[in-house]
Amino acid sequence: MTALQDTATSIREMGVRAKAAGRVLRSLPTARKVEALRAIAAELRAREDGIVRANAQDVLAAQEAGLPEHMIARLRLDAAALRTVAADVEAVLRLPDPVGETTGAQTQPSGIQVSQRRVPLGVLGVIYESRPNVTVDVAALALMSGNAVILRGGKETIHSNAALEGAIRAALEAQNLPADAVQVIHDPARERMRELLRLDDLVDAIIPRGGAGLHRYCVENATVPVIVGGIGVVHIYLDASFTRDPQDVQRAAEIVVNAKVQKPSACNALDTLLIDRQALPALPDIARALLENGVEVRADAEAWGALQDAGIVVTPADAADYGTEFLALTASLKVVSGLEEALDFIAAHGNHTDVILTRDTAQAERFVQDVDSAAVIVNASPRFNDGGQLGLGAEVAISTQKLHARGPMGLRELTTTKWVVVGEGQIRG
């Protein structure tokens, strides 16, 4: 389907076709889904040159349009990255299939046998921005969980997504499965997205991946249920107990650098480092490590003064540097009086991924219990809040809401349950 064909009518037609494809997928045996994903991985590898060329068109257009470097980094899909994407598809096919799982079986006094069976959601609408790998990740997860999916990427990914969609649909057709199980909206006009958001008779869930503006637009315009996530400020709280041993200080610096530098454009990258006032002697080592890795460090007055005394020059922070998701090589520092102040600060600004570095088990447990975020991590990088790292395979998004799914959304999070009741002629008295 070309951009010119993406009319208001065709968006509805896409929904109709997706609904029909979903009916086929929901009853598909696991073995057939596994073979479909294996075929997709093979097709991606076979079409490597064409997909990489298509992506190069998008990257060049983004550069000419003056997109920020972190956006271009998300967009880029070279040969090595495409091979990783294909391997990720194969990782999904090795995961347990949640569809058909039965729980809670029991016999009621009336004699009826009741249970709950896990089933696909149906048709997913996934809206995202400049990451073409999402096209494949979501398609693989949707197919393995028995769902059809309509994908709407950003205008900067139009050539990449067309090439990826072509590979996926060709693989499905070769497996005698409905190619309409995976469809991409190529028209970048926002009106097409709005039409998708209102297909409540055909689409069962909308999952946006992108910035706060995209999420807000979806929530305000959708009649389809929206699963919100993927945005939020990431904090690390450095407790004084983690700075008494020089080796721990080195570990803290390594964790903080990994959290900020390994992939600064990711939603689980560090934004704000909170430092216990008693841990200030360790701050220069951590700040040097960040600066050596090209991070712009913005510090509150107390942290700035401590670094100034150590001969380290950083940028003074202002109020806007807290509660901000940077998505770039920028991090803010704030000194707190201890765990209680850190918890209050995170309660005001966090909901995504929050980390404590501590050797005090009581402090760790208090942090885990009190912090109300999608993922709470003790003594490790926030970059582990990821579907692959948590054993889910690829992920559709990281949900920061509380209904249905929270945290990375893998196969199980793309399913729901239905009650199954079996009787022998019982009637209700």
Q: What's the confidence (pLDDT) of residue 410?
A: 86
In a domain? residue 389:
no
Q: What's the confidence (pLDDT) of residue 8?
A: 43
Q: How many domains does the chain have?
A: 2
44 and 180 share one domain: yes
Report helix, strand or coil for 299.
strand
Q: What's the confidence (pLDDT) of residue 230?
A: 62
Per-residue pLDDT of 160-212, as tens digits, reads 999 999 999 999 999 999 999 999 999 989 999 999 999 999 999 999 987 77
Per-residue pLDDT of 78-123, as tens digits, reads 999 999 999 999 999 999 999 999 999 999 999 999 999 999 999 9
In a domain? residue 1:
no
Q: What's the confidence (pLDDT) of residue 1?
A: 42
In a domain? residue 253:
yes
Of 91 and 274, the structure prediction assigns the larger pLDDT to 274
For residue 3, pLDDT over 80 is answered with no
> How many CA atoms does the CB half-sphere of 228 hold within 13 Å?
19
Q: Return the CATH number at 357.
A: 3.40.309.10
For residue 7, pLDDT over 60 is answered with no
The rounded mean pLDDT for the chain is: 92
Beta-carbon count within 10 A of 212 CB? 12
What ranges in 201-315 are assigned the alpha helix state H?
A: 212-221, 246-261, 283-292, 301-309
In a domain? residue 294:
yes
249 and 123 share one domain: no
Mean of pLDDT values over 309-332: 95
Mean of pLDDT values over 228-250: 92
207 and 271 share one domain: no
326 and 365 share one domain: yes
Q: Return the CATH number at 193.
A: 3.40.605.10
In a domain? residue 165:
yes
Of 231 and 281, the structure prediction assigns the larger pLDDT to 281
In a domain? residue 3:
no
407 and 282 share one domain: no
For residue 327, pLDDT over 50 is answered with yes
User: Residue 125 region, left (φ>0) first, then alpha (ψ -120 to 50), else beta?
Assistant: beta
> How many CA atoms does the CB half-sphere of 151 hold within 13 Å?
36
Mean of pLDDT values over 139-145: 96
User: Residue 131 region, left (φ>0) first, then alpha (ψ -120 to 50), else beta?
Assistant: beta
Q: What is the DSSP string of 22-81?
A: HHHHTT--HHHHHHHHHHHHHHHHHTHHHHHHHHHHHHHHHHHTT--HHHHHHH---HHH
From 399, 409, 339, 411, select the one nearest 373 (Cα to Cα). Answer: 399
Distance (Å, rounded) from C-alpha 234 to C-alpha 259?
Answer: 9
Beta-carbon count within 10 A of 215 CB? 19
134 and 255 share one domain: no
Quick one: how far is CA 428 from the chain centroid? 46
CA atoms 402, 407, 413, 417: torsion sign: negative
Q: What's the confidence (pLDDT) of residue 6?
A: 46
16 and 79 share one domain: yes
For residue 420, pLDDT over 60 is answered with yes
89 and 202 share one domain: yes
Q: What's the confidence (pLDDT) of residue 404?
A: 78
> Domain span at residue 219?
8-230+397-422
Distance (Å, rounded) from C-alpha 199 to C-alpha 206?
Answer: 10
How far CA 394 is from CA of 97, 201, 256, 361, 409, in Å, comes to: 14, 28, 24, 32, 8
In a domain? residue 106:
yes
Quick one: how far is CA 381 from the chain centroid? 16
241 and 356 share one domain: yes
181 and 320 share one domain: no
205 and 251 share one domain: no
Distance (Å, rounded) from C-alpha 369 to C-alpha 318?
Answer: 30
pTM, whole model, 2 decimals?
0.83
100 and 159 share one domain: yes
In a domain? residue 427:
no
